[in-house]
Every structure is written in structure tokens, then in C-alpha cells.
Amino acid sequence: MSLYLDNAATTPVRPEVLEAITPYLTRYFGNPSSHHEVGEAAASALDDARRRVASVLGMRPGDVLFTSGGTESNNAAIKGIVLGSGRRHLVTTAIEHESVLASADYLHRLHGVEVTHAPVDETGTLTPDVLAAALRNDTALVSVGYANNEIGTVQDVAALATVAHARGVPLHLDAVQAAGWLPLSGTGADAVTIAGHKIGAPKGTGILAVRGRLPFEPLLHGGGQERGRRSGTPDVAGAVGIATALTLAEAERAEEAARVGALRDAFVARVLALVPTARVTGHPAHRLPGTANFVFPGTNGETVLLELERHGIVSSSGSACAAGSDEASHVLLAIGVDHDEARTAVRFTLPHGLTASLDDVADAVAAAVTAVGSRG
């Protein structure tokens, strides 16, 4: 079996999660809105999942909504908070996930919302001063990624929250990549997005936590479930699964981040020693422990990936949402990487639980880059 180093795209379901959700797909299958024994068992499990998620986030159980994943959560947060606010200005950055950028574009095209893409520096960092300059009296929301999905740069979200709150503006944090690696409480965020399949829960599960005081216009209308913020019969098994995965990830987070980060640093150092022309993108220090995004000038990233797969190593050229596209990464372009060089990018994202050295992987990377470069 191939060595899978594309964990920012998706992760396998953890055995503990599979065990936790199975009863709610079989014996406890009830609709949690039903007022009978079968429905109340499901409702109890849903309430417990909500409490566990709220504990990790440092928020209230009533703030937590269960969704179909990160894309829905980002759409709901951005559209729901902006449209609910009555204000018509949104601040984000050009390096955000496509679901954030597309939501901002939707608000601009169909609702006349003005969107400011605050510039980031060459490391992908949004500084508090730059954010402060982007805010206006009619700003409804600031939406930023806690950690970038391609280059791994981690934002100083507490500082950004302080700046936003000083102007009375809420902060939405896309924490899809941060969950399991970074602290999720104490960030100062007013809304937080998490995707289950990035932390060992099934695909199609997600979390949106929105502090109850914020006005919010729901995307989905119907029976008024989730306190009227997301109508539809809740996926109880999915909620149990993502709550279990998040709780496990949080319990292991500090140890995992330290160990995997050290293995990542050794891997990066070996690749750079073997391929002197290579560069690592993103912040050199404030970066996700499991992320290493390289550019290999003189090659083509997709071709390097194919060569690596021949060696039994699976990685990616960036966001899975843009896989197969011939376009250069919008993230790399936004941080000033040349268009041609951006197309040479290869991203390695390491798994939780990694204990072995990646020296053999680094050697294979060097061989792949040499092979691709020699073909001109």
C-alpha cells in the first residue's frame, strides 16, 4: 500500500469513531425531534455530542450546529452572519479556501456586499495592522483561516480578534485545517468552522459554532431544527462521529503536534539538502506541524507527483478542491510566488500518529525531482 501524505485533503475514519457511530446507524436510529423513546435516545446522543464539541471550542452547547462539512459551514457562517447583520462589507484574504472566496463573491454579486481582500505578506500572514486598515464602520464580518490549507501558515488569531472586536466586528475562523493541531479555545473567534473528515470522522460531517448573540440568517429553511439555524433532520451518527473525533484529537493534540512537527522539520531539512533549488513556502515558524509545501523550480508539480506515486508515495500539489486544475495555486500567487514556479508546488501533509523518520521519502523526492528535471 502507498504511503499516504495527503492528510490535509482527507483522513481515514478512526476505529474509535466507527465504533461510536455504529449504534446510531442501527439500534438508536430515531429522529431526535420525535417525542418517544426511540427519538429521545437519539436526541440525548445529539445533546451529548453538542456538549463535547462546545467544551473543546470553549463555547456554549447552544452555539454548536452540526453540518455536512467545512464547505457548508463556511458558506453558512459567512452568508448567515453578513446577511443577518444588515451591514454590507466583508473582510477576508486572497489565500482563503475556495468555499470562503466563493461565498464572498456570492454576497458581492447577489447582495451588493463590498468585499475587501486584505493583503497577506510573503509568508501568508495577515498582520493586525493590515486588518485594522481594512475595517470600516459598516464591516459585518472578518473571515480568515486559522491555518492555510496549502502552505500551513498559522495566523495570530487572538490578535486579529482583538483588532476586529475593537471595531465591533465579529471574527469567523475557518479552523478546518487547524483542528487537531492547534488550540481551538481562547482564540477570540465568534464563529468557528470544522470538517469531520480532516480529523478522522466520516466525510459529510461538519461543525459550525456561532455565538448565540450574533444575528444569523440561515441557509436552510424548514422545520426549525438546530435552534432555527439549520433546518432538516440532524445526522445523529455524524454528530456523534465528529464529536468523538474532535475530542480524541484535542486530547492528543499537544503530543502529536510536537512529535510530528519534529519529524516534519527533519524531512524538510533533508529535502532542502538534497535539492538545493527547492524552497519551502509559508511561514518558517508559524506553520502547521504536519505541513510542508515545496516549490521545485524547473519541474512541473503534477509530474513530480506522478513520479512519487511510482515510488509508492501519495501527496498533492495543493488543495484537493483544485486537484486536476492546470491553474497555478491562488494561495501561492497571493504570497508573491511567480506563476511558473507556483506550478511546481508539491504539498506533503503528515498524519497524526506518525512516528517513523521520513528520510526515505526525502530521498524519493530528490530522485523524483531529478528525474522530472532531466526531462526538460
What's the Cα-to-Cα distance from 12 to each of 5, 198, 329, 350, 352, rounded to whole Å?
12, 8, 26, 13, 11
Eight-class DSSP state of 67: E
CB-count exposure of residue 117 (10 Å: 0-12, 13-18, 19+) = middle
**Which listed residue (3, 219, 266, 321) is catalytic?**
321
CB-count exposure of residue 254 (10 Å: 0-12, 13-18, 19+) = exposed
Amino acid at 263: L
Q: Is 321 a catalytic residue?
A: yes
What's the Cα-to-Cα distance from 124 to each of 121, 189, 243, 287, 332, rounded to whole Å?
5, 20, 30, 10, 9
Beta bridge partners of 306: none
Kindly write down the DSSP assignment for every residue of 241-265, as one continuous string.
HHHHHHHHHHHHHHHHHHHHHHHHH
SS3 374: helix
Kindly write down the DSSP assignment for every residue of 149-215, as one continuous string.
TTT-BBP-HHHHHHHHHHTT--EEEE-TTTTTTS--SSS--SEEEEEGGGTTS-TT-EEEEE-TTS-
- Cite the beta strand spans of the chain per DSSP E: 3-4, 64-67, 89-93, 114-118, 139-145, 171-174, 191-195, 206-210, 279-280, 291-295, 313-314, 345-349
Catalytic residues: 321
